């Protein structure tokens, strides 16, 4: 059974993405108020081999051989992947295994460290976050490790851009009434100009967030905010439809593994695992009847998660 490699899962931005999880659940440098995984249980800046290199690579090799289609291999998952001290070695090893592009979904908080920059240089795509315009909102929204300074994090993004020739998509998570307002977004746009990403992606809460006061920004405001940026910028829709023509056998195990990682609608499951929606619905109904799922309604959609109890 796979423990560190999951999917391919439906990604809002990367199509069918094979996820690699490099740290134990909620080991992170931040404790963001919008984190869909809940509270950070290990708030740390310590870089080490949190999970064994050999085991992760073995799991990845098997998945790459057996999956029908993978658009990206993505370091993401249940915490901050750059906390793993061998993420650079893994990227090189994955590139020896296949020609599938490698993406790193990071909060960007450690990019001021030279060795973290070195480790990401061979990735094809780096997606760092910048959710706040100043240190006050940084503390409020990202709730970082106390030794992290906002200016240092922004400086890290700028320095990394100077060295890195791959693509950077800067992710800006906006929250209604907190950062999702004109004055704050304009300041974030000024910072984004200094980072010089290839693309800015504005996103907002579309999945159940752990705290009640975390509210999504309206579609109208998201589209209006895009115009404040003078680097290419998009508001990412809640879900981008991806190819429906990939059919594969998805079992209960695969669905549960997906739902252990993130909440999904039936449609997310169907698209992510390449099975017809009716089949996904059948599996979900069956798992639900056996008490293996929890459900929650958010913005009119029902999201399922695996119930470990």
The residues binding ligand SF4 (CB under 6 A) are: 28, 30-32, 35, 37, 40, 79-80, 107
When the beta carbons of 109 and 292 are compared against ligand SF4, the nearer one is: 109
Q: Which of 180, 142, 175 is nearest to 32 (CA)?
A: 142
Q: How near is the Cβ of 106 to ligand SF4 at its closest, in Å?
A: 8
Q: How far is the CB of 55 from ligand SF4 (least distance, A)?
A: 22
Cβ nearer to ligand SF4, comparing 261 with 273? 261
Q: Which is nearer to ligand SF4, 209 or 250 (CB)?
A: 209
Q: How far is the CB of 105 from ligand SF4 (least distance, A)?
A: 8
Token couple for 51 = 């999970």
Contact 235, 225 (CB under 8 A): yes
The 3-class SS string of the chain reads CCCCEEEEEEECCCEEEEEEECCCCCEECCCCCCCCCCCCCEECCCCECCCCHHHHHHHHHHHHHHCCCCCEEEEECCECHHHECCHHHHHHHHHHHCCCCEEEECCCCCCCCHHHHHHHCCCCEEECECCCCCHHHHHHHHCCCCCCCHHHHHHHHHHHHHHCCCEEEEEEEECCCCCCCHHHHHHHHHHHHHHCCCEEEEEECCCCCCCCCCCCCCHHHHHHHHHHCCCCEEECCCCCCCCCCCCCCCCHHHHHHHHHHCCECHHHHHHHHCCCHHHHHHHHHHHHHCCCEEEEEECCEEEEEECCC
Handedness of CA 233, 270, 300, 76 (dihedral sign): negative
Nearer to ligand SF4, 107 or 292 (CB): 107
- The least CB distance from residue 121 to ligand SF4, in Å, is 21
Minimum CB distance to ligand SF4, residue 23 (Å):
9
* Residue nearer to ligand SF4 on the CB measure, 37 or 158: 37
- What are the beta bridge partners of residue 233? 200
Nearer to ligand SF4, 31 or 98 (CB): 31
Q: Cβ closer to ligand SF4: 129 or 292?
A: 129
CB of 279 to ligand SF4, least distance (A): 31
Interatomic CA distance for residues 92 and 39, integer angstroms: 32
**Closest distance to ligand SF4 from the beta carbon of 21 (Å):** 11
Taking the least distance from each CB to ligand SF4, the nearer of 215 and 288 is: 215
Q: Which is nearer to ligand SF4, 79 or 88 (CB)?
A: 79
CA dist 42 and 92 (Å) reads 28
To which residue do tokens 């990071």 refer?
A: 106
């Amino acid at each position: 059974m796979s423990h560190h490699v999951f999917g391919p899962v439906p990604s809002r931005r990367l199509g069918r993405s094979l996820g690699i999880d490099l740290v134990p659940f909620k080991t992170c440098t931040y404790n963001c108020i919008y984190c869909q995984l809940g509270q950070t249980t290990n708030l740390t800046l310590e870089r080490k081999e949190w999970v064994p290199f050999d085991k992760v690579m073995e799991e990845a090799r098997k998945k790459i051989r057996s999956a029908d289609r993978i658009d990206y291999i993505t370091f993401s998952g249940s915490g901050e992947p750059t906390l793993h001290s061998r993420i650079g070695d893994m990227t090189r090893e994955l590139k020896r295994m296949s020609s599938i592009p490698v993406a790193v979904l990071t909060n960007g908080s450690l990019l001021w460290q030279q060795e973290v920059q070195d480790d990401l240089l061979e990735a094809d795509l780096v997606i760092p976050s910048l959710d706040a315009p100043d240190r006050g909102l940084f503390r409020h929204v990202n709730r970082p490790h106390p030794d992290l300074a906002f200016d240092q994090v922004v400086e890290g993004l700028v320095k990394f851009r100077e060295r890195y020739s791959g693509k950077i998509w800067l992710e800006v998570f906006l929250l209604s009434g907190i950062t999702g307002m004109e004055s704050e977004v304009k300041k974030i746009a000024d910072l984004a100009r200094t980072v010089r990403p290839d693309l800015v992606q504005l996103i907002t809460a579309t999945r159940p967030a752990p705290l009640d006061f975390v509210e999504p920004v309206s579609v109208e405001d998201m589209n209006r905010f895009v115009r404040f940026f003078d680097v290419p910028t998009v508001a990412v829709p809640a879900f981008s439809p991806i190819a429906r023509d990939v059919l594969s056998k998805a079992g209960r195990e695969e669905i549960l593994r997906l739902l252990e990682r993130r909440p999904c609608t039936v449609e997310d499951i169907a698209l992510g695992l390449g099975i017809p929606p009716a089949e996904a619905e059948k599996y979900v109904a069956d798992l639900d009847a056996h008490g293996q799922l929890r459900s929650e309604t958010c913005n009119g959609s029902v999201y399922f998660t695996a119930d470990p109890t």
